[in-house]
Structure 1
Amino acid sequence: MDATYDAWTRRAGTLRLDGSHLIDGSAHAGGRTFTVVSPRDGRPLAEVADGGAADVDRAVAAARRAFDVGPWPRLAPAERGRVLTRVADLVEERRADLALTVSLEMGKPITDAFDIELRALIATFRWYGQLADKLTDTSPHTAPDALALVTREPAGVVGAVVPWNFPLTLAGWKIAPALAAGCSVVLKPSERSPLSALHLARIAGEAGLPPGVLNVVNGDGPVAGRALGLHPGVDVLAFTGSTAVGRHYLRYAADSNLKRVWLELGGKSPNIILPDAPDLETAAATAAWGIFFNQGEMCTAPSRLLVHSSIAERVTEAVVERARSLRVGDPLDPSTEMGALAGEEHLDRVLGHVHAALDAGARLRTGGERTLAETGGTYLRPTVFDRVDPDSALARDEVFGPVLSVLPFDDLDEAVALANATDYGLAAGLWTSDLSTAHRVARALRAGTVWVNCYEEGDLTVPFGGMKQSGNGRDKSAHALEKYTELKTTWIRL
């Protein structure tokens, strides 16, 4: 792909964006529509079918048929794996158009969409395709006159609800293991980013996925999401999004069929830098990269920089310098380092956090204001606060934007206490040269992932998920299959 600004903008003009639901292998226009607006320039991208309860009913019925009488759960696991691998191959072929769609939908820089988001999606389908036929059942040793079998069977129809910040990566983390297990899926993407998910589902059909195995219903959470959460034909609900919305899905399960609900929710991740960090420049640069990557619109974003008092000003100044030099601009420009926030409503919400922090007495070191407003897009300058009260909203609430809080500490016990002083427990970072400190602090931190001397690293072999109000269950790795399977015991008298 010719990775130039002109090439990407020309290609954007040729994209064919279909906003129809995809149900039982066919496009369904539905009745009502809504407009997807690009945060890049505030212009409409496409009219998209606005799903309601009737559309969800049709999609769940199709998924139910595909699971109850269709071929997918009855295929040999190796056959399912080959289809998933074929999905990965076709995504690789359509990589540029998928990356471009993501960039236009939610403002992600095209370089990040192409190099990171699509790479993750391809790897996810390939990894679960290769894993599909390598799962084993067990036969525990019992009495000599009996045979016990413990089998892992597909759970049924999976409802998957995913957000807009990584619309394809997070969809892949739900869809691929569910399909590998033999389930059928109804996906509800965010109303901000449905177009890339629809494109992915059509690709899956081309790869050989039978009709009804993967369905996509567009719409907002209070209508389409609620209908999916309450639907008695859904056996498992997997959700990534805010903690507030996650509570709704637990209620929907309680009010319907007690479906299992797996939640990957918000975060307020601490990033602890100790004076003996292997390289303070690398630690500071990574802290800046982590909070400003993807416009800070990440549940794992290291939004709380906990730094020892003896090095606090040195590290903070390095982060501020990096924030000021960061290139904010058009997502389709390959030189852009930080793109647009995901729409006017979200930009206003993030600015509300900035204004509240100023009112609470935090010191603004850089940023905190809208930029490039003349483009029609929703851009914010990278923002750094210090002198942040640990009990303030800025230190405790998820901002979901490029806003960093710097909190100094004097000793390790204080650092751990500050790190754990949050309702969330998704991720954390630690920078130290001492092996004992690394192990002791990693054990003390209440987080699903702890990165030591790095941040946002890993691969599909390791699970991802949170503790406390950051959710339950795990995406990625073989552990993800636990969400989409049921254990059955068969006891045979010999």
Structure 2
Amino acid sequence: MTFLPEGKLYIDGQLRDAANGAKYEDISPWTGEVVAYAADASAEDMEEAIAAARRAFDHSDWPTNSDKRLALVHKLAELMKANRQRLVDIAIHETGAAMGAVNMANVDGPLNHFDKLFEIYGTIEWEKAMLDKEVWGSVHRRLLVKEPAGVVGAIIPWNVPLYITVGKVIPALLLGCTVILKPAPDTPLMSTIIGELAAEAGFPAGVLNVVSGKEPALLGEILVTDPRVDVISFTGSTGVGRRIMEIGAPTLKRLFLELGGKSAAIIFEDAPNFAEAVGQSIVCYHAGQGCATITRLLVPESRYDEAVTVLEHAYDAYAQLWGKAEDPTNFMGPLISQRQRDRVMGYIEAGKSEGARLIAGGQIATDKGGGFFIEPTCFVDVTNDMTIAREEIFGPVLVVIPFKDDEDAIRIANDSEYGLSGSVVSGDEARAVRVAKRIRTGTVGVNGGMSMDVDLPFGGYKQSGLGKEWGLEGFEEYLETKVIATRA
């Protein structure tokens, strides 16, 4: 049985155990067995991390020494690439990623993003001279100055932790912020290894701190409520995002919140590859555990029966292909935990009870071993008022909804509290783009267009969150703008 190295805290430049010596079990989603142990930090440990990050920002040259920052972050990036196999092992055995997913967003995607992140950093305009202006008989010279925002609390989810860590922590460090990285309890090692490599790279004390813990809310709430923390960058559920806004309000923190999604794909009747587009809509990547995963499939009434038949065949063909950890062509493994598996099964039962028709899956996959497996699942005859069409399931569940015409498709797509991603497929590109512009969502792919990449801002509308990650806009989340005016 695979057993991974123990995860340590990294606080004030030191790799160490929790102050009280506590540890907790890290469970493999593939087997349901312990795969590692991680330090179980207390409030005392988080207090030390916040104090260290505050000192490093206020009393070191980290915010002002750009050459030093760039060299050390480059070194961290190279160490992460050199330790790819360790990251792969963690992604498989801790997060439950299949090798196909590992080779994309779970490991190789973020490792391949470093060069572009450094390139974007090089475009930051730190000072901008505005036009001189005469006011009350005097000429005033105006200067806009960008400065690092301060101490950042980066709170990471369990689905693609390395991808999200790179998107939050690397821009913040490059810009001169100091960071406290708090992983999800289910996936501590994908963060604690970053602390280990930062120590090896020679990061100054307090610049980056990694604090893991078993209790879901304790450490995060300390970060959110502490006035010494200037920015909270959170990716996770909308419910937790609301809680962060509530308890962070007294300190008026800057918040980046990338929250839930219930994204829709619209496939029009004139799609030249209609069957292919429908068949490729099955929800399987990382068992549907992705905020931007498209889980509502909207198809025209005129081709609805055809779409259902295509999906029946597609799911039947995929039934024996998933659940193989080491297969590079496989993108679907288990859910992260028994708790998540039970949650998804609850939604499947809700779909049945509300009258949706199950055409694939819907069961716990007992033939895959002792882990947390659910079969790829598809419901048809779904209406947009059903629970499975309204709420984020975060599992391998697709719902199929018919529409009458373009206006009806837009109405259904927008009839959601979320607005994170989506797609439109049509033989008429102009038509597809017109529809895409009317969907209230942060990213839309047209005819297979890639709307998410390292150089593109990512974030949602409505209850899918606030702010942007990745791209230049993602860097700007960690900057303040100061105006300096001088009377000539």
TM-score of the two chains, using structure 2 as the length reference: 0.94
Q: Are the counterparts in 1 of residues 97 and 331 from structure 2 also a CA contact under 8 Å?
A: no
Instruction: Provide the C-alpha distance between the structure 2 equivalents of 1:316 and 1:299, rounded to a whole number of angstroms.
Output: 25
Distance 1:81 1:120, change over 3 A: farther
Instruction: Provide the C-alpha distance between the structure 2 equivalents of 1:24 and 1:126, rounded to a whole number of angstroms.
Output: 28
1:34 to 24, 27, 30: 24
2:12 to 15, 24, 47: 24
The residue that corresponds to 1:266 in the other structure is 260
Structure 2 unaligned segments of length 5 or more: list them. Answer: none
Q: Are the counterparts in 2 of residues 447 and 466 from structure 1 also a CA contact under 8 Å?
A: yes
Q: Are the counterparts in 1 of residues 99 and 331 from structure 2 also a CA contact under 8 Å?
A: no
Distance 1:208 1:282, change over 3 A: farther
CA root-mean-square deviation: 1.7
Instruction: Provide the C-alpha distance between the structure 2 equivalents of 1:221 and 1:93, rounded to a whole number of angstroms.
Output: 31
1:455: how far off?
Answer: 6.3
The residue that corresponds to 1:153 in the other structure is 147
The residue that corresponds to 1:95 in the other structure is 84
The residue that corresponds to 2:375 in the other structure is 381
Distance 1:462 1:278, change over 3 A: farther
The residue that corresponds to 1:492 in the other structure is 486
1:243 to 235, 238, 252: 238
Is 2:386 the counterpart of 1:396?
A: no
2:206 to 203, 212, 224: 212
1:182: how far off?
Answer: 0.7
Distance 1:201 1:320, change over 3 A: farther
Is 2:312 the counterpart of 1:312?
A: no
Distance 1:20 1:69, change over 3 A: same
The residue that corresponds to 2:100 in the other structure is 111
The residue that corresponds to 1:449 in the other structure is 443
Instruction: Provide the C-alpha distance between the structure 1 equivalents of 2:124 and 2:372, rounded to a whole number of angstroms.
Output: 46
Matched residue SS, 1:364: strand
Identical positions, percent: 37
1:184 to 178, 193, 200: 178
Matched residue SS, 1:261: strand
2:109 to 115, 120, 126: 120
Instruction: Provide the C-alpha distance between the structure 1 equivalents of 2:65 and 2:120, rounded to a whole number of angstroms.
Output: 15
1:286: how far off?
Answer: 2.9
Residue identity opposite 1:59 in structure 2? A
Q: Are the counterparts in 2 of residues 40 and 330 from structure 1 also a CA contact under 8 Å?
A: no
1:79: how far off?
Answer: 4.1
Residue identity opposite 1:135 in structure 2? I
Distance 1:373 1:216, change over 3 A: farther
Instruction: Provide the C-alpha distance between the structure 2 equivalents of 1:44 and 1:149, rounded to a whole number of angstroms.
Output: 56
Distance 1:285 1:213, change over 3 A: farther
1:350: how far off?
Answer: 0.2
Distance 1:395 1:456, change over 3 A: farther
Instruction: Provide the C-alpha distance between the structure 2 equivalents of 1:111 and 1:430, rounded to a whole number of angstroms.
Output: 25
Matched residue SS, 2:180: strand
1:93: how far off?
Answer: 1.3
1:29: how far off?
Answer: 1.1
The residue that corresponds to 1:6 in the other structure is none
The residue that corresponds to 1:298 in the other structure is 290
Matched residue SS, 2:29: coil
Matches within 5 A, 1:414-493: 414-454=408-448, 457-493=451-487
Structure 1 unaligned segments of length 5 or more: list them. Answer: 1-8
The residue that corresponds to 1:195 in the other structure is 189
Instruction: Provide the C-alpha distance between the structure 1 equivalents of 2:114 and 2:227, rounded to a whole number of angstroms.
Output: 28
Q: Are the counterparts in 1 of residues 266 and 423 from structure 2 also a CA contact under 8 Å?
A: yes
Q: Are the counterparts in 2 of residues 383 and 404 from structure 1 also a CA contact under 8 Å?
A: yes
The residue that corresponds to 1:254 in the other structure is 249
Distance 1:374 1:310, change over 3 A: closer
Q: Are the counterparts in 2 of residues 20 and 27 from structure 1 also a CA contact under 8 Å?
A: yes
The residue that corresponds to 2:132 in the other structure is 142
Instruction: Provide the C-alpha distance between the structure 1 equivalents of 2:194 and 2:304, rounded to a whole number of angstroms.
Output: 45
1:99: how far off?
Answer: 1.4
Deviations 1:102-123 (A, max 9, x none): 1111211023213442222223
Matched residue SS, 1:47: strand
Q: Are the counterparts in 2 of residues 81 and 132 from structure 1 also a CA contact under 8 Å?
A: no
Deviations 1:135-157 (A, max 9, x none): 11211102262211101100000
Instruction: Provide the C-alpha distance between the structure 1 equivalents of 2:368 and 2:394, rounded to a whole number of angstroms.
Output: 24
TM-score of the two chains, using structure 1 as the length reference: 0.93
Q: Aligned pair count?
A: 478
1:373: how far off?
Answer: 5.4
Matched residue SS, 1:287: coil
1:334: how far off?
Answer: 3.9
